[in-house]
Amino acid sequence: MATLKDERKEFESLGHIYPVQTGVSIKQQIIAGVPSYWFTPEHVGGSEVIIFLHGGGYIYGSIESHRAMVSHIAKAIERKILLVEYSLAPERPFPAALNETVAVIQELVRTVPGFQFSMMGDSAGGNLVMSVALKLKSLNAQPARYHVLISPWVNMETVYPSYAKNEKLDPIITKEFVQYAAGLYAAGHDLKDPLVSPVHGDFKGISPTLILVGAQEVLTDDSVFLYEALENAGVVSELKMYDGANHVWPLVDIRSERSVEALNEIVDFMAVHQEGAVK
């Protein structure tokens, strides 16, 4: 039977399916005590830094699993990206990842003159993006200019219809895995807490948000219900659904037709909203 260590090693192998993008430098920096990695493309076309929060169910994931994909994203969007290697559960359950990410952002805001940022995340990283946004709002702290979510997991309760509808169509995620990961991360905390399941949050005043998801994912409805919650709160938001795309499809094939479409969607969204954060 595979151990958590074995599972993490297998997940990290996803980062070696295709090579790191050429022309993108990668350097580590410890910020607020958290290992973080700067991805800097040769051409930087905007001033905001993208805070990238990786997926892996809060129990897997690291620079190893996401180095290649993030390097290609940095080149495509022509922005500096900071991947925050937050602590994982069960060793460090909720709210460790949330607190660490907020600390990194606040340290940069405090120490870098004129620092502006946006946030991007895949799967559990999408959960963390929205949880951080809610936390920053509660602190009356500087918000992100915009958010980009890829196959976000925003409700730790497995209650949405897409779990049953797409059970046999999704080769990546299962209801059982979601329940397993949620149990390790929440560690007995209320799954309805908006900082655990941000779909339940008060999004009034949250910055513009782009959501990208595959139509056959068991997590498809996480995106649908998040989009509805954002719309109901008056947040400028977009939901793009891709037929034939699996969970976090750019992680496996960055050059596929659906991945190229997703990167173009992100670039277009950024062009419109990079100056549009709520003050």
Q: What is the CATH number of the domain that holds 68?
A: 3.40.50.1820
Indicate whether 278 belongs to any domain: no
What pLDDT does 277 receive? 40
Contact 136, 205 (CB under 8 A): no
What pLDDT does 275 receive? 61
Indicate whether 86 belongs to any domain: yes
Indicate whether 139 belongs to any domain: yes
Type of residue at 230 = L
C-alpha dihedral sign at 184, 210, 239, 258: negative
Contact 131, 98 (CB under 8 A): yes
Number of domains in the chain: 1
Q: For all residues of the chain together, what is the average pLDDT?
A: 96
Tokens 């190229």 correspond to what residue?
A: 260
Q: Count the alpha carbons within 13 Å of 12 in the hemisphere toward its beta carbon.
A: 10
- 92's CB contacts (< 8 A; 6+ apart) are none
Report residue 75's pLDDT band, with 50, 70 and 90 as the boundaries.
very high
Q: Write the pLDDT tens digit of every residue in 152-191.
A: 999 999 999 999 999 999 999 999 999 999 999 999 999 9
Indicate whether 279 belongs to any domain: no
Q: Write the pLDDT tens digit of every residue in 266-279.
A: 999 999 987 644 43
Q: Would strands 49-53 and 117-122 be described as parallel, antiparallel, or unpaired?
A: parallel
Indicate whether 205 belongs to any domain: yes
User: Crossing angle, helix 96-111 and helix 124-138, to 10 degrees?
Assistant: 60
Contact 269, 148 (CB under 8 A): yes
Report residue 2's pLDDT band, with 50, 70 and 90 as the boundaries.
confident
If DSSP states are collapsed to H, E and C, what string results for 232-267?
HCCCCEEEEEECCCCCCHHHCCCCCHHHHHHHHHHH
Contact 47, 6 (CB under 8 A): no
3-class secondary-structure state, position 196: coil
Alpha-carbon span 181 to 72, nearest angstrom? 28
- How many CB atoms neighbour CB 113 within 10 A? 4
Contact 150, 126 (CB under 8 A): yes
- In this model, does residue 8 exceed pLDDT 60? yes
End-to-end CA distance of the chain: 51
What pLDDT does 276 receive? 46
Contact 105, 51 (CB under 8 A): yes
Residue 181, domain extent: 4-273
Encode burial over 124-139: b for 16+ CB neighbours within 10 A, e otherwise.
bbbbbbbbbbbbbbee
Structure tokens given for 124 = 């559990």
Q: Identify which of 187, 241, 252 has the alpha carbon closest to the alpha carbon of residue 214.
A: 241
Contact 207, 177 (CB under 8 A): no
Q: Tell me what percent of the residues of the chain surpass a pLDDT of 70.
A: 98
Structure tokens given for 11 = 């997940």
When computed from its CA atoms, the radius of gyration of the chain, rounded to whole angstroms, is: 17
Indicate whether 89 belongs to any domain: yes
